[in-house]
Structure 1
Amino acid sequence: MSVTTQARPEAPPEPPPSDARFVIPGVALLILAALLLGFAGNLLLVGHLQHARAQQTGYAELREQLAFGTAPVGRTDIDGEVLSPGTPVALLRIGAIGLREVVFEGTTSDVLMSGPGHRRDTVLPGQAGTSVVMGRQWGYGSPFLHLDELGPGDTIEITTGQGEHTYRVTGLRRPGDPVPEPAGTGQGRLTLITATGGPYTPSGVLRVDAELTTDVFPTPARVIPTGAVGEAEDALKGDDSAWTPTLLWSQALLLAAAGVAWAHRRWGRWQAWITGVPVLGAITVALSGTLTRLLPNLL
């Protein structure tokens, strides 16, 4: 009687060693694809959600301060400390274009992600002198997208710690247009600034000038002299302080991409993507946010 022995299945062959000629370009393409997708997602979706959240929390903070009489009326808070960039200072309403936004202190690219920003070396709205407020045209909520639709006679309403203030639009200015005379003694003016150009491609600066039609409130002593703010707060300027976090997040993205490439080789395609996509997504969103800070603040 013969005994038939069953042949053992052959073990799967070992995968060939990785070829650096293909691995390195693959990792580079993976990084580039993740960065482009994250950057587009940040500008088109995540940035708008971030803006909505910042407006919600900023409005709640400003409303509480107005109720308790502690809202800022100058460049310092009730304790005498200079206001930190990003502090809510006013509520801006323009009925003609359906705008209602909390205004924050400062005009850097970082601050303008939350909403319009008050230039720190100018007076607050409602006070004697010219107050300057900047806002993005397309990104992060697009608060000033329809600013060019305003015309002479339109009304701008602003609420600050000193009360309600109403401005009347006197005109729009584009590059090359004459600059109006400075505000006289006891007069209040407002200049709204945003970018001109196509979607996410700023090419110039649009200014909307308005004059105060309600009572002029006292102006506290200046803490930041005119022109003393950094270049990052000028129109169409980026924030150079974002280079350090950009470098750190770029290194994190490089390591994450290399880890996904290694996992793809060792674990398999789907295992690598299931574990790697959330990590790559989170890092690219953070990196794209810091990259946006390097771009013009009115974008």
Structure 2
Amino acid sequence: MNSNLASFSLTSTVMLISRIFRRIGQTLILLGFLTLLFVVYQLWGTGLLTERYQQGLENDFEELVEQVEEVADEPKEVISDSEVKPDLGEFLWRSEGEAMAQLTIPALNLSKTVVSGVGVEALRKGPGHYSYTPLPGMPGNSAIAGHRTTWGAPFGDINKLEPGDEILIQTVQGSFTYRVVEQMGGRGHFIISPYRLDVLDQNFDTYPNRLTLISCHPKLTARQRIIVVAELVGEPADYYPPPKRAMFSLNLSFGIEGGDTSTQIDPSGTSDEQTPTTQAPPQDDPSPVEANPPSSETTSSQGNDLGESTEVTSFGEGLEGDKDAIAPTVAWGIAVFMIIITTLLVANRWRKWPAYFIGFFPFIAAVAVWFFNLEKALPS
């Protein structure tokens, strides 16, 4: 009798342990499957979305150029006997995420429409222009950021750029050519920490009219930044300040402290006349870019066009991740697992395949939203 009880107890224990390990194995398989789905979404799904964005942006930029040509053909509004109000600045400075330039790099077989801003949503559409730097073609240091591995990876191969390679930019002011500047070791790029922000400064002693391309390094991480500097060939275009009704108030942060790029609206609701100038925006602390520059300040002070000082504390949430997306990421992750658990419980008490079929559609919808927010929260 005791022998039978002992045998039954041992069998029950073995079955319990076997059941536990089976559940653990099933959970690990599920986690592996979700991880694989997320990798597929990041490497291919985001690229398809960016391609759709780019198609629309290309059309938007073409329409923008046509609008400028129409305005140029019209008589300008005379404000006084000696003053004419230009309209070009209204077309040059675009809202966050709107098309503002066409970028072509023949050496990389790259042609992308550049949007205004470097927020998460902006960089999902394509390369983004730092709105507190001059526009491409204008005097000064114009900076553009882009992804290297996801969302079309526009800057995936900028490490392959060689000194002398051309970078072509078209804005509504015209077409401009930049040439990649040689860095240490004969390379066309250099690597810096994410805290090294002086590459966004203005009024450089060497190559004062430049284009700075910025992305994350190494690929698949945001541990460092890869920088390509190119000098403008020929004379710069006139500098147009942004309209006063769209003042830029930068609040970019790194890590847990910060916020995101914000735009403050002029309470007066008026826009002053825009007068072109050949001078770049003032810069409080200019310092030349060097190959593999040593670590220094973690902030960069940008003088903007309205006479205000803008403190830059990061390369933007588009490259470093959006902390506001963490909460919805957690919430949708919980929703995904609740759908899975509910589907399995229903399948065990009902017929399996009908339960799986019914649970499939809410599962796919929840996973899509989860991945969208998860990718938004993660660094580029």
Tell me if TM exceeds 0.5.
yes
Going from structure 1 to structure 2, the CA distance change for 1:32 and 1:84 (only over 3 Å counts) comes to: farther
> Does the 8 Å CA contact 2:68/2:88 hold for their aligned counterparts?
no
- Counterpart secondary structure, 1:174: strand
Going from structure 1 to structure 2, the CA distance change for 1:214 and 1:285 (only over 3 Å counts) comes to: farther
**Rounded Cα–Cα distance in structure 2 between residues aligned with 1:258 and 1:30:** 14
- Counterpart secondary structure, 2:48: helix
Going from structure 1 to structure 2, the CA distance change for 1:106 and 1:229 (only over 3 Å counts) comes to: farther
**Rounded Cα–Cα distance in structure 2 between residues aligned with 1:83 and 1:52:** 21
Q: AA paired with 1:146? A: D
- Counterpart secondary structure, 1:101: strand
**Rounded Cα–Cα distance in structure 1 between residues aligned with 2:125 and 2:100:** 13
1:179-198 equivalent positions in 2, closer than 5 A: 182-183=203-204, 187-198=208-219
**Rounded Cα–Cα distance in structure 2 between residues aligned with 1:74 and 1:219:** 13
In structure 1, what is the equivalent of residue 346 of structure 2? 263
The count of aligned residue pairs is 274
> Does the 8 Å CA contact 1:51/1:113 hold for their aligned counterparts?
yes
In structure 2, what is the equivalent of residue 9 of structure 1? none
Deviation at 1:253, TM superposition (A): 1.8
Q: AA paired with 2:236? A: V
Bigger drift between 133-142 and 267-276 goes to: 267-276
> Does the 8 Å CA contact 1:232/1:238 hold for their aligned counterparts?
no
In structure 1, what is the equivalent of residue 364 of structure 2? 281
In structure 2, what is the equivalent of residue 62 of structure 1? 61
Going from structure 1 to structure 2, the CA distance change for 1:256 and 1:59 (only over 3 Å counts) comes to: same
TM-score by length of 2: 0.62
In structure 2, what is the equivalent of residue 224 of structure 1? 248
Q: 192, 195, 212: which is aligned to 1:175?
A: 192
Deviations 1:183-211 (A, max 9, x none): 3699521000112224x234421111011
Deviation at 1:53, TM superposition (A): 0.8
Deviation at 1:256, TM superposition (A): 2.0
- Counterpart secondary structure, 1:224: strand
> Does the 8 Å CA contact 1:75/1:224 hold for their aligned counterparts?
no
Q: Which runs of 4+ in 1 moved over 3 A?
A: 21-35, 73-78, 176-187, 227-232
**Rounded Cα–Cα distance in structure 2 between residues aligned with 1:242 and 1:60:** 30
- Counterpart secondary structure, 1:103: strand
Does 1:128 find its partner at 2:139? yes
Q: AA paired with 1:237? A: E
Deviation at 1:182, TM superposition (A): 3.8
- Counterpart secondary structure, 2:236: coil
Deviation at 1:26, TM superposition (A): 9.2
> Does the 8 Å CA contact 1:115/1:140 hold for their aligned counterparts?
yes
Flag structure 1 segments of 5+ consecutive residues without an equivalent.
1-20
1:44-63 equivalent positions in 2, closer than 5 A: 44-63=43-62
Bigger drift between 231-240 and 288-297 goes to: 231-240
Flag structure 2 segments of 5+ consecutive residues without an equivalent.
1-19, 71-85, 183-188, 250-301, 303-309
In structure 2, what is the equivalent of residue 149 of structure 1? 160
Deviations 1:86-135 (A, max 9, x none): 11111100001101011111112332122111112111101111011011
Q: AA paired with 1:258? A: I
Q: AA paired with 2:148? A: Q
**Rounded Cα–Cα distance in structure 2 between residues aligned with 1:136 and 1:74:** 33
Deviations 1:26-62 (A, max 9, x none): 9966874564243222112211111111111111111
Q: AA paired with 1:48? A: G
Going from structure 1 to structure 2, the CA distance change for 1:46 and 1:70 (only over 3 Å counts) comes to: farther
Deviation at 1:219, TM superposition (A): 2.0
